[in-house]
Structure 1
Amino acid sequence: MLKKGSKLNSILTGSCPRCHSESMYVAKNPYTFGKTLKMHDHCSHCGLKYHMEPSFFFGAMYVSYAVNVALGIVVFLIANLVFRTGMVSAFVWIFIVLVVLMPVILRWSRTLYINMFVSYDPTAGK
Protein backbone atom coordinates (compact mmCIF):
# COMPACT_ATOMS: atom_id res chain seq x y z
CA MET A 1 0.00 0.00 0.00
CA LEU A 2 2.50 2.63 1.15
CA LYS A 3 5.91 2.57 -0.41
CA LYS A 4 8.78 1.75 1.92
CA GLY A 5 10.95 4.82 2.22
CA SER A 6 8.18 7.40 2.40
CA LYS A 7 7.68 9.39 5.60
CA LEU A 8 3.96 8.65 5.36
CA ASN A 9 4.70 4.91 5.55
CA SER A 10 6.64 5.36 8.79
CA ILE A 11 4.08 7.74 10.29
CA LEU A 12 0.99 5.65 9.56
CA THR A 13 2.55 2.30 10.47
CA GLY A 14 4.61 3.51 13.45
CA SER A 15 7.69 1.86 12.00
CA CYS A 16 11.31 2.84 12.50
CA PRO A 17 11.93 6.11 10.64
CA ARG A 18 15.38 5.02 9.46
CA CYS A 19 14.76 1.51 8.08
CA HIS A 20 10.93 1.09 8.14
CA SER A 21 11.48 -2.56 9.07
CA GLU A 22 9.80 -2.88 12.45
CA SER A 23 7.35 -1.11 14.72
CA MET A 24 8.73 1.33 17.28
CA TYR A 25 6.01 0.29 19.72
CA VAL A 26 5.88 -2.82 21.90
CA ALA A 27 2.14 -3.36 21.34
CA LYS A 28 0.97 -3.08 17.74
CA ASN A 29 -2.55 -2.04 18.81
CA PRO A 30 -2.64 1.53 20.23
CA TYR A 31 -5.73 0.60 22.28
CA THR A 32 -3.72 -1.83 24.41
CA PHE A 33 -4.01 0.40 27.45
CA GLY A 34 -0.91 0.66 29.57
CA LYS A 35 1.22 -0.03 26.51
CA THR A 36 -0.01 2.74 24.22
CA LEU A 37 3.26 4.69 24.39
CA LYS A 38 5.58 1.84 25.43
CA MET A 39 8.40 1.83 22.89
CA HIS A 40 11.36 -0.38 22.19
CA ASP A 41 14.68 1.18 23.23
CA HIS A 42 16.12 0.82 19.76
CA CYS A 43 15.40 -0.76 16.40
CA SER A 44 16.58 -4.35 16.26
CA HIS A 45 17.16 -4.05 12.51
CA CYS A 46 19.18 -0.83 12.13
CA GLY A 47 20.02 -0.01 15.75
CA LEU A 48 18.39 3.47 15.83
CA LYS A 49 17.94 4.61 19.43
CA TYR A 50 14.39 5.96 19.66
CA HIS A 51 14.94 8.05 22.80
CA MET A 52 17.80 10.04 21.31
CA GLU A 53 18.17 12.21 24.40
CA PRO A 54 16.35 12.55 27.73
CA SER A 55 12.86 13.97 27.28
CA PHE A 56 13.18 13.73 23.47
CA PHE A 57 9.46 13.17 22.97
CA PHE A 58 8.54 16.24 25.04
CA GLY A 59 8.30 18.07 21.71
CA ALA A 60 5.70 15.56 20.54
CA MET A 61 3.22 17.30 22.86
CA TYR A 62 3.28 20.31 20.54
CA VAL A 63 2.69 18.04 17.55
CA SER A 64 -0.18 16.39 19.44
CA TYR A 65 -1.71 19.79 20.13
CA ALA A 66 -1.58 20.70 16.42
CA VAL A 67 -3.07 17.33 15.39
CA ASN A 68 -5.89 17.70 17.94
CA VAL A 69 -6.71 21.24 16.81
CA ALA A 70 -6.73 20.21 13.14
CA LEU A 71 -8.93 17.19 13.85
CA GLY A 72 -11.25 19.33 16.00
CA ILE A 73 -11.67 21.81 13.16
CA VAL A 74 -12.46 19.02 10.69
CA VAL A 75 -15.03 17.44 13.03
CA PHE A 76 -16.59 20.85 13.68
CA LEU A 77 -16.89 21.58 9.98
CA ILE A 78 -18.40 18.18 9.24
CA ALA A 79 -20.85 18.41 12.14
CA ASN A 80 -21.82 22.00 11.45
CA LEU A 81 -21.82 22.17 7.64
CA VAL A 82 -22.69 18.62 6.60
CA PHE A 83 -25.00 17.47 9.40
CA ARG A 84 -26.23 20.98 10.34
CA THR A 85 -25.90 20.34 14.08
CA GLY A 86 -25.95 23.13 16.61
CA MET A 87 -22.84 24.57 18.21
CA VAL A 88 -23.15 22.50 21.40
CA SER A 89 -23.68 19.26 19.47
CA ALA A 90 -20.65 20.00 17.31
CA PHE A 91 -18.47 20.47 20.39
CA VAL A 92 -19.83 17.25 21.92
CA TRP A 93 -18.82 15.42 18.72
CA ILE A 94 -15.36 17.00 18.84
CA PHE A 95 -14.95 15.79 22.43
CA ILE A 96 -16.11 12.26 21.58
CA VAL A 97 -13.86 11.95 18.52
CA LEU A 98 -10.79 13.29 20.34
CA VAL A 99 -11.29 10.99 23.33
CA VAL A 100 -11.83 7.91 21.15
CA LEU A 101 -8.80 8.69 18.96
CA MET A 102 -6.51 9.76 21.82
CA PRO A 103 -4.25 6.64 21.75
CA VAL A 104 -3.87 6.90 17.97
CA ILE A 105 -3.14 10.63 18.11
CA LEU A 106 -0.53 10.11 20.83
CA ARG A 107 1.31 7.58 18.67
CA TRP A 108 1.00 9.65 15.50
CA SER A 109 2.43 12.63 17.34
CA ARG A 110 5.48 10.72 18.52
CA THR A 111 5.99 9.17 15.12
CA LEU A 112 5.59 12.52 13.35
CA TYR A 113 8.05 14.09 15.77
CA ILE A 114 10.80 11.50 15.35
CA ASN A 115 10.32 11.61 11.57
CA MET A 116 11.18 15.31 11.66
CA PHE A 117 14.68 14.41 12.82
CA VAL A 118 15.41 11.01 11.25
CA SER A 119 15.34 10.25 7.52
CA TYR A 120 14.94 6.96 5.72
CA ASP A 121 18.21 5.21 4.89
CA PRO A 122 17.85 2.18 2.58
CA THR A 123 21.32 0.96 3.61
CA ALA A 124 20.55 1.00 7.35
CA GLY A 125 20.92 -2.34 9.06
CA LYS A 126 22.78 -4.01 6.20
Structure 2
Amino acid sequence: MLKKGTKLYSILTGRCPKCQEESMYENPNPYVLPDVLKIKDRCSNCNLKYRLEPSFFYGSMYVSYAVGIAFAVAAFVISYLFLGTSLKIAFISIVGTLIVFGPIIMRLSRNIWINMFVSYDKEVSKS
Protein backbone atom coordinates (compact mmCIF):
# COMPACT_ATOMS: atom_id res chain seq x y z
CA MET A 1 0.00 0.00 0.00
CA LEU A 2 2.68 2.49 0.98
CA LYS A 3 4.84 2.16 -2.07
CA LYS A 4 7.74 4.53 -2.58
CA GLY A 5 7.06 6.83 -5.48
CA THR A 6 3.45 7.51 -4.53
CA LYS A 7 2.07 10.71 -3.04
CA LEU A 8 0.50 8.69 -0.24
CA TYR A 9 3.94 7.40 0.78
CA SER A 10 5.34 10.92 1.00
CA ILE A 11 2.27 12.28 2.80
CA LEU A 12 2.07 9.57 5.46
CA THR A 13 5.82 9.31 6.11
CA GLY A 14 6.69 13.01 5.88
CA ARG A 15 9.45 12.32 3.39
CA CYS A 16 10.73 14.69 0.71
CA PRO A 17 8.05 14.77 -2.00
CA LYS A 18 10.61 14.86 -4.81
CA CYS A 19 13.03 12.03 -3.90
CA GLN A 20 11.32 10.47 -0.85
CA GLU A 21 14.71 9.69 0.68
CA GLU A 22 14.64 11.68 3.93
CA SER A 23 12.24 13.26 6.39
CA MET A 24 11.36 16.90 5.79
CA TYR A 25 11.28 17.51 9.54
CA GLU A 26 14.20 18.15 11.85
CA ASN A 27 12.69 15.75 14.38
CA PRO A 28 10.62 12.94 12.82
CA ASN A 29 8.61 12.50 16.06
CA PRO A 30 5.56 14.83 15.89
CA TYR A 31 5.00 14.60 19.65
CA VAL A 32 8.15 16.58 20.49
CA LEU A 33 6.01 19.71 20.63
CA PRO A 34 8.72 22.39 20.37
CA ASP A 35 9.88 20.73 17.13
CA VAL A 36 6.51 19.77 15.64
CA LEU A 37 6.66 22.34 12.82
CA LYS A 38 10.44 22.70 12.47
CA ILE A 39 11.16 21.80 8.89
CA LYS A 40 14.56 21.52 7.21
CA ASP A 41 15.47 24.17 4.66
CA ARG A 42 16.42 21.72 1.91
CA CYS A 43 16.57 18.02 1.20
CA SER A 44 20.14 16.77 1.55
CA ASN A 45 19.56 14.23 -1.23
CA CYS A 46 17.87 16.19 -4.04
CA ASN A 47 18.34 19.76 -2.75
CA LEU A 48 14.60 20.55 -2.94
CA LYS A 49 13.82 23.76 -1.10
CA TYR A 50 10.90 22.89 1.21
CA ARG A 51 9.66 26.45 1.63
CA LEU A 52 8.91 27.11 -2.02
CA GLU A 53 8.07 30.74 -1.26
CA PRO A 54 7.84 32.88 1.88
CA SER A 55 4.89 31.80 4.04
CA PHE A 56 4.38 28.77 1.79
CA PHE A 57 2.88 26.61 4.52
CA TYR A 58 0.14 29.11 5.41
CA GLY A 59 -1.91 27.31 2.78
CA SER A 60 -1.68 24.14 4.83
CA MET A 61 -4.02 25.76 7.37
CA TYR A 62 -6.88 25.17 4.94
CA VAL A 63 -5.87 21.54 4.56
CA SER A 64 -5.56 21.29 8.35
CA TYR A 65 -9.17 22.33 8.73
CA ALA A 66 -10.34 19.55 6.41
CA VAL A 67 -8.10 16.93 8.05
CA GLY A 68 -9.29 18.03 11.50
CA ILE A 69 -12.92 17.69 10.40
CA ALA A 70 -12.17 14.17 9.10
CA PHE A 71 -10.65 13.19 12.47
CA ALA A 72 -13.59 14.76 14.34
CA VAL A 73 -16.17 12.95 12.20
CA ALA A 74 -14.31 9.67 12.70
CA ALA A 75 -14.29 10.21 16.48
CA PHE A 76 -18.02 10.99 16.45
CA VAL A 77 -18.91 7.97 14.33
CA ILE A 78 -16.85 5.62 16.49
CA SER A 79 -18.05 6.96 19.84
CA TYR A 80 -21.69 7.80 19.11
CA LEU A 81 -22.72 5.37 16.41
CA PHE A 82 -20.52 2.32 17.08
CA LEU A 83 -20.10 2.53 20.86
CA GLY A 84 -23.52 4.09 21.55
CA THR A 85 -22.33 6.86 23.87
CA SER A 86 -24.31 9.99 24.67
CA LEU A 87 -23.84 13.17 22.66
CA LYS A 88 -21.94 14.70 25.59
CA ILE A 89 -19.44 11.83 25.62
CA ALA A 90 -19.21 11.95 21.82
CA PHE A 91 -18.33 15.66 22.02
CA ILE A 92 -15.68 14.94 24.65
CA SER A 93 -14.24 12.22 22.42
CA ILE A 94 -14.05 14.66 19.50
CA VAL A 95 -12.20 17.23 21.62
CA GLY A 96 -9.88 14.54 22.99
CA THR A 97 -9.17 13.19 19.53
CA LEU A 98 -8.27 16.65 18.20
CA ILE A 99 -5.97 17.30 21.15
CA VAL A 100 -4.22 13.91 20.98
CA PHE A 101 -3.87 13.90 17.19
CA GLY A 102 -3.17 17.66 16.85
CA PRO A 103 0.56 17.29 16.06
CA ILE A 104 -0.17 14.56 13.51
CA ILE A 105 -2.89 16.67 11.90
CA MET A 106 -0.49 19.62 11.60
CA ARG A 107 2.19 17.50 9.94
CA LEU A 108 -0.22 15.66 7.67
CA SER A 109 -1.57 19.01 6.49
CA ARG A 110 1.90 20.29 5.64
CA ASN A 111 2.72 17.02 3.88
CA ILE A 112 -0.47 17.16 1.82
CA TRP A 113 0.12 20.83 0.96
CA ILE A 114 3.67 20.41 -0.35
CA ASN A 115 2.69 17.24 -2.25
CA MET A 116 0.09 19.28 -4.13
CA PHE A 117 2.93 21.28 -5.71
CA VAL A 118 5.89 18.87 -5.91
CA SER A 119 5.86 15.48 -7.62
CA TYR A 120 8.07 12.45 -7.16
CA ASP A 121 11.00 12.23 -9.57
CA LYS A 122 12.40 8.70 -9.79
CA GLU A 123 15.51 9.96 -11.59
CA VAL A 124 16.42 12.19 -8.65
CA SER A 125 15.81 9.47 -6.07
CA LYS A 126 18.35 7.17 -7.75
CA SER A 127 21.23 9.58 -7.20
- TM-score normalized by the length of structure 1: 0.97
Shift of the alpha carbon at 1:124? 1.5
- The answer on 1:89 being equivalent to 2:80 is no
Alignment map for 1:64-83 (pairs within 5 Å): 64-83=64-83
Shift of the alpha carbon at 1:33? 1.6
5+ residue gaps, structure 2: none
**Equivalent AA in structure 2 for residue 18 of structure 1:** K
Q: Secondary structure at the match of 2:34?
A: coil
Rounded to whole Å, the distance in 1 between the matches of 2:37 and 2:60 is 12
Rounded to whole Å, the distance in 1 between the matches of 2:109 and 2:95 is 18
Q: Secondary structure at the match of 1:124?
A: helix
**Equivalent AA in structure 1 for residue 65 of structure 2:** Y
Q: Which residue of 2 aligns with 1:123?
A: 123
Q: Secondary structure at the match of 2:61?
A: helix
Shift of the alpha carbon at 1:2? 2.0
Q: Which residue of 2 aligns with 1:40?
A: 40
RMSD between aligned residues: 1.0
Shift of the alpha carbon at 1:119? 0.4
Q: Which residue of 1 aligns with 2:104?
A: 104
5+ residue gaps, structure 1: none
Q: Which residue of 1 aligns with 2:23?
A: 23
Rounded to whole Å, the distance in 2 between the matches of 1:55 and 1:116 is 16
Rounded to whole Å, the distance in 1 between the matches of 2:102 and 2:71 is 11
Rounded to whole Å, the distance in 2 between the matches of 1:38 and 1:11 is 16
Rounded to whole Å, the distance in 1 between the matches of 2:12 and 2:70 is 17
Q: Which residue of 1 aligns with 2:53?
A: 53
List structure 1 segments (4+ residues) > 3 angstroms apart after TM superposition. none
